[in-house]
Structure 1
Amino acid sequence: MTSDIAPAATGFQSFVSTASPEQGPPRVAALRAQMTAEGLDAFIVPRADVHQGEYVAPRDERLAWLTGFTGSAGFAAVLADEAGLFVDGRYTVQARAQVDTEVITPVDWPKTRLGPWLAERLERGAVVAFDPWLHTAKEIETLREALEPKGVALRETDNLVDRVWEDQPEPPQGQVSAYPDEFAGRTHGEKRQAAADALREAGQKAAVLTLPDSIAWLLNIRGADLPRVPVAQAFCILHDTGHADMFVDAAKVDEVRDHLGDEVTVHAPKEFAAALEGLDGPVRVDKATAPLAVSRLLDRAGVEVTWGDDPCILPKARKSGAEIAATTKAHLRDAAAMCHFLAWLDAEAEGLADRDAPLTEIDVVRRLEAFRRDTNALRDISFDTIAGAGPHAALPHYRVTEESNRAVQPGELLLVDSGGQYVDGTTDITRTVAVGAPSDEHRACFTRVLQGMIAVSRARWPRGLAGRDLDALARAPLWMAGQDYDHGTGHGVGVYLSVHEGPQRLSRISDVPLEPGMILSNEPGYYREGAFGIRIENLIVVETAPALAGGDDRDMLHFATLTWVPIDRRLIDTGMLSRDERAWIDAYHAEVARKLAPRLDGAAAAWLARATAPV
C-alpha cells in the first residue's frame, strides 16, 4: 500500500543559529516588568507547550526566545534579581555557551530541584506564577509541596512571555494524513474500542488525551505541525462508548474525514474547555502529561477527576507484529543508507590532506541526509543530526550551526547520532568513528562503552523488571575505570512517531516494567569535555526469551536487535574483551554483512566486507 504522505523536496536540517546570548537581557527585563505590574516575585518558563512534547512549534519556543537556550529539555525561573536556567547534564556546556550568564545562571538539574531553589531565594509571602496550560498537575503538586511550608504561594496566570513576545509566530497548520492499517496492525476503530473497554472496566466515563502522539496512534493518523515528529497538535476526549471527540483546526483534517468516520467528531480547538465542563465523570486525566488547566476546568464544573495513565501510553509502547515487521524493513533501508555514508566518510577521511577545502561537520550532516534521501522513502529526519568532531563530540546533544561548524581533523573522533522518519518506521543510530589513527585512550574508552552496549544487547531478565534494573549493565565497564555518563542508557522509540517515546526507558529512574514489543535505544557513552566524546547506539525490541536447557521454568525476556550497521573495529581494543564479547561482535558483524550485502554494491559493498571482518 502506498501512502499519501509525501517526502520533502529540500534538505531538512538548518544550520542557522536561532538564538544568541545577547537576546536574553532585554527580554528578561521585559518579563520582569510584567511581573512587577502583577505583583509577582517569580515566573516559571518551561520548554514544554500545552501538549508536553519534546518538540515544540516555533510559536511555543518561549524558553529559547527568552533565554537563548535552544536545547530540547529545560526550564527557567525568573525572579526580580536572578534568573535560573535549569538543564541536565546533556546541556550543561551548551547552556553556558548560549545564554548571557551575567543575567541567566545555568542550574544543574535534577541535582538542584526547582522548589528548594525558589524557597531558598524567596521571602515568606512571595508569589510564584505559572501558566497552568504549560505545566502538569504532577509538576505543580511537587512544587507546592516544596513552597507552601516556606510560606511561598503559587498563582495561575496567563502567559507573561506571550505578553511581551511581539513577533510571536502563528500556530502551525500542517495537514493530517491517514496512516496505513497494514503498518499499524489494527484499525483505529479497534484501538478505540479496546481503550473504551479499559475505561469501562475502570469505571470511567471518558479519558482526556493531550499528547499528540497518543492521538496520532489511536486514530491511525499522522500530522505535520512539528519538526521531526509527524503529529498534529490536537486534544481528544475518548468516551467509554469508543466515540472520540477531536479538537483540532478543521482545515487540518479535510483529507481524512472519511478515514476518521462517524465515530470521531471534529471540533474547533476553542470548544475544548466547554466540552470538558460538559462531561459526566469519572474522567481519567494523566497527572504526568496533561496540563493542569484540564483538571482545573473539570474540577470547577464539578466533574469527578480520576488520575490515571493516558490509556494509549502502554498500548502504543507495545508494538504490534505489523509495526515490528514494518519498522524492521525501515531499519534495513536506513542501515544501507548509513553504510553508504560511512563508506563515503572513510574515503573522505583518508583523503583529508588532498582536499581543496576542509571536511566540516555540516558537510557530514548534509551528506548523510543525502544518502537517506536517496532511498526515496525519507519523510523527515527523526531529530537534528548530531555530528560532533573532536571536542564537539563531548556535547551529547550538540547541534552544528554555521557559527560552530568545525573541520574534521586527523587523529580525532567523530560522533554521528542521527535517524530517519519513514512511513514504516523511525530510526535512531549513533556511530563513533576514528578519523585517522585513534589514540590508546580513545580505544580504551570506546571499548568500555562497547562492552556496556553488548551487555545490554545480551541481557536476559525475569518478566516484571524495569529499565532501572538493567541500566547498570551498560555502565559497569565504565564504573570499573572510574568513568560514567550523565544521560539515560536508552529511551523508547515510536513507529513513524516520536523518536523519544515513553513510558519505557533504560534509566536509573525508570520503574515501568519492560514488555514484549517495546522498542528502546541502547546507547551508553563517555564524554571528556574539551577533548572527545563516544556513543554507540542500536535500537532493540523486547521479546519473550526462548527457554534454555537446564534453566528454571521462568518467564524471561530479552532484546532483539533492529539496527544493523558496522561498529568501527579500529576503535576496539580486543585485548580488553572477553571471549563472549568478541563472539558477540563477530556474530553481529556477520549478520550485518548477511542482511546488507544484497543492498549494496561498488565501493559501499567493498567497505562493508572490510568493516564486518572478524575482530
Structure 2
Amino acid sequence: MFQTFDSHASPEQGPARLAALRARLAAEGLAGFLVPRSDAHQGEYVAARDERLQWLTGFTGSAGFCIVLPDVAGVFIDGRYRTQVKLQVDLAHFTPVPWPEVKPGDWLREHLAGGVIGFDPWLHTAGEIEALEKSLEGSGVTLRSGVNFVDAIWPDQPAPPMGRAFVHPDAVAGETSADKRARLASDLAKAGQRAAVLTLPDSICWLLNIRGADVPRNPILHGFAILHDDGRVTLFCEAAKLDDAVRAHLGPQVTVLPPSELVPALRGLTGPVRVDRGTAPLAVSQELSGAGIAVAWGDDPCRLPKARKNAGELAGMREAHLRDGAAMVEFLCWLDRAAPQGGLTEIDVVTALEGCRRATNALHDISFDTICGAGPNGAIMHYRVTDESNRPVRQDELLLVDSGAQYEDGTTDITRTVAVGDPGPEARACFTRVLQGMIAISRARFPKGLAGRDLDPFARQALWMAGQDFDHGTGHGVGAFLSVHEGPQRLSRISEVALEPGMILSNEPGYYREGAFGIRLENLIVVREAAKLPGGDDHRVQYDFETITFVPLDRRLILADRLSPGERDWLNAYHAEVLEKIGPRLSPEALDWCRAACAPV
C-alpha cells in the first residue's frame, strides 16, 4: 500500500511544544513568531522535515499557518479545514482563525499592542512579507527575519529527504529539456535579464525533464536552480540523488552543485536577476540585494509554459485518464456489490481502490492520500482516514471518495459521491445542485482573456439559488506526472490568471453539511479553442473545455426532473462517452455494471 492509516496529528503534544517555543521567543526578545505550512519551495506537500505546523499544533491540513504570541496562538485556516482543525488541535491552547476572512495583520493589531514578530525568510515569499508589513504600518508591530525557532526546539526533526531522481522521457514530456532551456533563456535575454532563480521543484523538474521522490505522492526533486540567459542551468541538489543516467541526461549545459553553494552562487551573479515575488523565498532577494545585484521581479519563467500542456503531455494525460477511469469503474462495481452486505469501513474502501489502480500494472504512486468520508466524515473536506477515525460505511448514507493516481504518462484526480442505500431526498437535492454546477463548468464557453474568477460563479449558481455554497475554489491546476495541485491556473474567486489552451484544471464543486454529509464531484478538464459558431463573430476567439475524466456519476442521486434539457443532454452524452471509451477496458462484470450506470436519465 502507498497509503497508510496511522495518525499524524499529535494535539496532546501541542501545549508543551508551544510553551517551549514561547520560552525561546521570550529569551530572544520576540513578541511572536510565524509558523507556516510551506517549506523553502512553497510546497503544498512537504517532506517530514518541514512539517513544522503539524509538529507544533497537530493540524495536518495542506494549507494554513500559525502566529504564536505570548497569550494566544492563532491557527489560520481556510474554508476547507474549518471542521478538521477543531478535531486536530488542542482548543484550550490554539485558536482557529478563519482565513482569509481575517487578515493576519488585522489579527496582530487586535492581539498585540507592539513588539517584534520573528520569521524564517526561507519559508515566506517577498510578496507575503511585504503585504504583512504594509498592513502593520503604524501599529508598533514589526517583523524581523532570522533563525527558525521551531527548528531550534525540535529535537528529533527528520533529516532532509534524499529521494532518487529519474529521467522523464522526452516522448512523454513532448519537448526536450534543451529546447525548453533555449526557449526560456531567449525570453530572459529579450527582457534584459541575465538569469532567473527557480525555487519551485515542479518548475525545475519540468524544465530538466526529470522527476524525483522527495515528497510523498508528487514526483518532484527538492532543489534550487539558476537558469542563465544562454540556456545553461546550475542545479543545486544533493549529488547522491542523481545517478549516472540522470547526469548523462542533464548533459554538459547543466552544472550540479550542493545546496550549500546556492547562496554563494547568488552573490556571484550579474544582474538583473529575475525572482518571482510570489513563489521565491524572501531570502533569495535578500541575498541578491545584499550583494548589490539588481533584482528584476517577474514570474517564474517555467510556470506558464508548464501549465500550457503540449501535444505529447496531453496525449499522455488522456491515456492516463482512460486507464484510471477503467480502474475507477472496476472499483465502483466492487463497491456497489460489497456495500449492501455491510461490514465495510473507510479503510476497506481506500484499500480496494488502490488495489484496482495497482492492477493496471502502471501505477507509480497515488497522487494524494485518498479522501474517503462516510456519512458525516464526508463533510471534512480534506479528511484522511486513520486507524483511530476509521468509520463503517453504513446504509442510507453518502460516501465521498476523492482520489488520484500518478502514472508515468499523467496525473489523475477524481471525486465521486455515491449512495449507500437511500440517503434521503435532501441529499439527492443537494447532489443534483452540485451536479448542475459541474455541468455548467463543463459546458462553459467563454472569451479569450477570462480568468478562473470569471467562471467560478457558474459552479455555484444552482447552490446559491438554494441559499447554499461551498468554501473552496471550484478547481485547481493539475500537472502532467507532476504535482496534482499546480499553479498558476485555477477556477477560483481569487484567480486572475487568464486561462489558455492546454491548461488542465479540476472541475469540483461541492456541498458540505457538518455532522451530516459531504458531496463533491470532480472531473479534470482541458482548456481548448472553441469551434466557431454559425452567426458568431469570426474575429472573436473563444475557449471551452474538453473533459478527460470518464467515470459514471451516480444516477441514483440525481433528481432528473430538476435538470434543464441542456443539462440532461450533457449528462447523457457524457455517460455515452464513458461507456464508449471505458467499456472495452473493463472486465465482463464491470462492463455490465457500467452499462447500467450509464443508462440515459
Q: Tell me if TM exceeds 0.5.
A: yes
Match of 2:95 in 1: 105
For residues 269-308 of structure 1, what are the structure 2 equivalents within 5 Å?
Answer: 269-308=259-298
Aligned residues: 599
Alpha-carbon distance, 1:236 to partner: 0.1
With 149-158 and 499-508 compared, the bigger mean Cα shift is at 149-158
From 353, 364, 383, the counterpart of 1:368: 353
Provide the C-alpha distance between the structure 2 equivalents of 1:122 and 1:598, rounded to a whole number of angstroms. 64
- Are residue 169 (structure 1) and residue 126 (structure 2) matched? no
- Are residue 127 (structure 1) and residue 116 (structure 2) matched? yes
- Asked if the contact 2:218/2:483 (under 8 Å) is kept, the reply is yes
- Are residue 258 (structure 1) and residue 248 (structure 2) matched? yes
User: What do the CA deviations read for 1:515-550 (whole angstroms, capped 9, x no partner)?
Assistant: 000000000000011001100000000000000111
Provide the C-alpha distance between the structure 2 equivalents of 1:270 and 1:601, rounded to a whole number of angstroms. 53
- Are residue 473 (structure 1) and residue 463 (structure 2) matched? no
Match of 1:4 in 2: none
Alpha-carbon distance, 1:602 to partner: 2.0
- Asked if the contact 1:119/1:146 (under 8 Å) is kept, the reply is no
Provide the secondary structure at the position in 1 that maps to 2:79: coil
Identical columns (%):
66
Provide the C-alpha distance between the structure 1 equivalents of 2:147 and 2:360, rounded to a whole number of angstroms. 46
Unpaired runs of 5+ residues, structure 1, are 1-10, 353-357
- Are residue 548 (structure 1) and residue 537 (structure 2) matched? no
- Are residue 539 (structure 1) and residue 528 (structure 2) matched? no
- Are residue 197 (structure 1) and residue 186 (structure 2) matched? yes
- Are residue 57 (structure 1) and residue 47 (structure 2) matched? yes
RMSD: 0.6
User: What do the CA deviations read for 1:62-98 (whole angstroms, capped 9, x no partner)?
Assistant: 0000001011111000001110000011111111111
Match of 1:7 in 2: none
- Are residue 582 (structure 1) and residue 568 (structure 2) matched? yes
Match of 1:240 in 2: 229
Provide the C-alpha distance between the structure 1 equivalents of 2:333 and 2:355, rounded to a whole number of angstroms. 14
Provide the secondary structure at the position in 1 that maps to 2:80: coil
**Aligned partner letter, 1:392:** N
Match of 2:321 in 1: 331
From 393, 398, 401, the counterpart of 1:408: 393
**Aligned partner letter, 1:564:** F
From 422, 428, 431, the counterpart of 1:443: 428
From 52, 69, 87, the counterpart of 1:79: 69
Provide the secondary structure at the position in 1 that maps to 2:17: helix
User: What do the CA deviations read for 1:563-596 (whole angstroms, capped 9, x no partner)?
Assistant: 0000000000001001111111100000000001
- Are residue 184 (structure 1) and residue 184 (structure 2) matched? no
**Aligned partner letter, 2:348:** D
Unpaired runs of 5+ residues, structure 2, are none
From 359, 362, 366, the counterpart of 2:344: 359
Alpha-carbon distance, 1:186 to partner: 0.5
Provide the C-alpha distance between the structure 2 equivalents of 1:52 and 1:571, rounded to a whole number of angstroms. 39
Alpha-carbon distance, 1:199 to partner: 0.4
- Asked if the contact 1:385/1:416 (under 8 Å) is kept, the reply is yes
From 322, 325, 332, the counterpart of 2:312: 322
Provide the C-alpha distance between the structure 1 equivalents of 2:181 and 2:20, rounded to a whole number of angstroms. 46
Match of 2:577 in 1: 591
User: What do the CA deviations read for 1:290-334 (whole angstroms, capped 9, x no partner)?
Assistant: 000000000000000010000000000000000000110000000
Provide the C-alpha distance between the structure 2 equivalents of 1:156 and 1:362, rounded to a whole number of angstroms. 43
Alpha-carbon distance, 1:350 to partner: 2.6
**Aligned partner letter, 2:9:** A
User: What do the CA deviations read for 1:135-163 (whole angstroms, capped 9, x no partner)?
Assistant: 00001001100113212111111100011
Provide the C-alpha distance between the structure 2 equivalents of 1:69 and 1:370, rounded to a whole number of angstroms. 29
Match of 1:3 in 2: none
Provide the secondary structure at the position in 1 that maps to 2:137: helix
Match of 2:206 in 1: 217
Match of 1:93 in 2: 83
User: What do the CA deviations read for 1:25-66 (whole angstroms, capped 9, x no partner)?
Assistant: 000011011101100001000000000010110011000000
Alpha-carbon distance, 1:178 to partner: 0.6
Provide the C-alpha distance between the structure 1 equivalents of 2:587 and 2:254, rounded to a whole number of angstroms. 48
Provide the secondary structure at the position in 2 that maps to 1:91: helix
User: What do the CA deviations read for 1:93-134 (whole angstroms, capped 9, x no partner)?
Assistant: 11111111111101001101111111221123x001000000
Match of 1:382 in 2: 367
- Are residue 267 (structure 1) and residue 257 (structure 2) matched? yes
Provide the secondary structure at the position in 2 that maps to 1:150: coil
Provide the C-alpha distance between the structure 2 equivalents of 1:20 and 1:282, rounded to a whole number of angstroms. 46
**Aligned partner letter, 2:547:** T
**Aligned partner letter, 2:566:** D
User: What do the CA deviations read for 1:460-502 (whole angstroms, capped 9, x no partner)?
Assistant: 0010000000000000000000000000000000000000000
Provide the C-alpha distance between the structure 2 equivalents of 1:35 and 1:178, rounded to a whole number of angstroms. 45
Provide the C-alpha distance between the structure 1 equivalents of 2:340 and 2:21, rounded to a whole number of angstroms. 53
Provide the C-alpha distance between the structure 2 equivalents of 1:573 and 1:123, rounded to a whole number of angstroms. 55
Provide the C-alpha distance between the structure 2 equivalents of 1:19 and 1:453, rounded to a whole number of angstroms. 33
- Are residue 611 (structure 1) and residue 597 (structure 2) matched? yes
Provide the C-alpha distance between the structure 1 equivalents of 2:354 and 2:13, rounded to a whole number of angstroms. 31
- Are residue 495 (structure 1) and residue 480 (structure 2) matched? yes
- Asked if the contact 2:10/2:55 (under 8 Å) is kept, the reply is no
**Aligned partner letter, 1:132:** P
Match of 2:149 in 1: 160
- Asked if the contact 1:210/1:236 (under 8 Å) is kept, the reply is yes
Alpha-carbon distance, 1:16 to partner: 0.4
Match of 2:17 in 1: 27
- Are residue 13 (structure 1) and residue 3 (structure 2) matched? yes
Provide the C-alpha distance between the structure 2 equivalents of 1:170 and 1:79, rounded to a whole number of angstroms. 28
Provide the C-alpha distance between the structure 1 equivalents of 2:374 and 2:308, rounded to a whole number of angstroms. 36
Alpha-carbon distance, 1:438 to partner: 2.9
- Asked if the contact 2:226/2:234 (under 8 Å) is kept, the reply is yes
Provide the C-alpha distance between the structure 2 equivalents of 1:551 and 1:366, rounded to a whole number of angstroms. 51
Provide the C-alpha distance between the structure 2 equivalents of 1:210 and 1:89, rounded to a whole number of angstroms. 28
Provide the secondary structure at the position in 2 that maps to 1:129: strand
Provide the C-alpha distance between the structure 2 equivalents of 1:268 and 1:411, rounded to a whole number of angstroms. 57
TM-score of the pair, normalised by structure 1: 0.97
Provide the secondary structure at the position in 2 that maps to 1:166: coil
User: What do the CA deviations read for 1:190-217 (whole angstroms, capped 9, x no partner)?
Assistant: 0001110110111100000000000000
Provide the C-alpha distance between the structure 1 equivalents of 2:95 and 2:592, rounded to a whole number of angstroms. 51
Provide the C-alpha distance between the structure 1 equivalents of 2:105 and 2:242, rounded to a whole number of angstroms. 41
**Aligned partner letter, 1:92:** R
Provide the C-alpha distance between the structure 1 equivalents of 2:23 and 2:262, rounded to a whole number of angstroms. 32
- Asked if the contact 1:246/1:265 (under 8 Å) is kept, the reply is yes
Match of 1:514 in 2: 499
User: What do the CA deviations read for 1:429-463 (whole angstroms, capped 9, x no partner)?
Assistant: 00000001231111110000000100000000010
Provide the secondary structure at the position in 2 that maps to 1:413: strand
Match of 2:104 in 1: 114
